[in-house]
Amino acid sequence: MIFDLFHSISDPKVGGRQLGAAESFRAFFEQVELAEALGFDTVWCAESHFSSETQKSTSVATIPEFYGEVGLNCDSFQLFHAIQARTKRIHIGTAIHNIVGGSGGPIASADRVNFLRYCNANLWANPRHLRIGVAAGRFPYQNTPFGIVPRDAGEAKVWNLVKRYVFLEALEIFLRLTNGETLSSKAVTQYFISEDEARAGLKGQIPEGAGFPYYVKPRWDFESLTLVPSLEKTAPFTTVLGSSDPEALKLARKFSDVDLFNLSFTPPEQIEKLHAQLSAMSPTWNRARLPRTVLVFIDRDRKKARELANFVLDAYIEAMKGTAQVPDKAVLMERALIGDAAEVRDQLHPDNPRRFDPNDRLMLWFEFNQLDHAQITNQMRYFWKEVGEKLA
């Protein structure tokens, strides 16, 4: 079993208290350094854009009940340079980098990833495996400033369907440019929405005057581009898709042998179906290529571990109230690792209902909605000594 560290790099307000950016980053770097010393394989860095406090007052407010900042890392690639300067071995990944808006779109993202790969292979003293997770961005307020909005009345009518194709277009551009292709927008796949798709996606509410098939106008219009510098010398690099859309997976695998993310609350049977599907797609597929976030609440005192889990999850669910992205507390609890080391080892056993596998890659999330740095590092040490060393 491969154990990674996932870090939200957030600054939530919990119990009326907030750390602030400087203290949040100090704790993050110390936890990364500890993860390397203990033996974790990869640190996965969450990415976010713009103040989640400010978004409450806008027309695209998505998390009105969240207090504090949902994420402080707005530039993973600058952050990676800081991580590699403080460490020698641990690999680095994004979970997840927004290639639609947030960072400027797929061309800007591909350009920066290409240069990061060059730096990793040619300039860093200790090259790492870069695992670049890509997605469409979690919240609309992080994309709308970049023009990811309906461009006319017709597009507004089917916007909930168009958004899907915005990501597919961005994904293709990103992958083909990072592959080293010379690419223009004329060579990128064009999309159409059929009437049947519209009826299914809009629950039968076909907008008046909408004509089908509806042509989805390209979002990015550009002449031929090639990224520089060229990558004559390379270091390990993987693109990890952060989407549950089967069309996104199909498209991505047309251009790259991508890995795939899964969230901690994904049902075990769905995980197994994905592995079967991906094994059929790729002869090199293995379970470690589907990294899974897993919440961890571990303490030598089982009661304290459960109290912490209940407190943290209650606070988080309240903060995310109104979004469609948070499952019930019972689901979160039954998918998380909660208890002392013996209980956690049992929860990681293949016979447990959580159905982990000895060959899984788990992105362990210790600091989830917590502020106590000492408590978090104690959990990390205890986990590694009593669980990680026995199962890794």
Contact in structure between 84 and 24 (CB atoms under 8 Å): no
What one-character-per-residue DSSP string does 63-79 give? -TT--EES---S-HHHH
Q: What's the CATH code, domain 2-74+262-391?
A: 3.20.20.30
Task: Provide the pLDDT for residue 204.
Answer: 62
Task: Provide the pLDDT for residue 65.
Answer: 84
Largest CA distance in the chain: 64
Q: Provide the strand spans (E) within the chain.
A: 2-7, 11-12, 42-45, 68-69, 91-98, 130-135, 191-193, 214-216, 237-241, 259-260, 292-298, 337-339, 361-365
Burial class (CB in 10 A: 0-12, 13-18, 19+), 209: exposed
- Length of the chain equals 392
Contact in structure between 274 and 316 (CB atoms under 8 Å): no
Instruction: Please give the chain's pLDDT, 392 residues, in tens.
Output: 999 999 999 999 988 899 999 999 999 999 999 999 999 999 999 999 999 999 999 998 888 888 899 999 999 999 999 999 999 999 999 999 999 999 999 999 999 999 999 999 999 999 999 999 999 998 899 999 999 999 998 898 889 899 999 999 999 999 999 999 999 999 999 999 998 888 888 776 676 666 788 899 999 999 999 999 999 999 999 999 999 999 999 999 999 999 999 877 788 899 999 999 999 988 999 999 999 999 999 999 999 999 999 998 988 888 777 665 677 888 889 999 999 999 999 999 999 999 999 999 999 999 998 999 999 999 999 999 999 998 87
Q: How far apart are CA 381 and CA 385, in angstroms?
A: 6
Task: Provide the pLDDT for residue 217.
Answer: 95
Q: Measuring CA to CA, how many Å separate 376 from each of 83, 125, 334?
A: 19, 30, 21
Residues 6+ apart with CB under 8 A from 329: 313, 314, 317
Query: How many CA atoms are closer than 13 Å to the CA of 207, on its beta-carbon side?
Result: 18
DSSP secondary-structure letter at 348? T
Query: How many CA atoms are closer than 13 Å to the CA of 68, on its beta-carbon side?
Result: 24
Task: Provide the pLDDT for residue 161.
Answer: 92
Query: How many CA atoms are closer than 13 Å to the CA of 201, on its beta-carbon side?
Result: 16
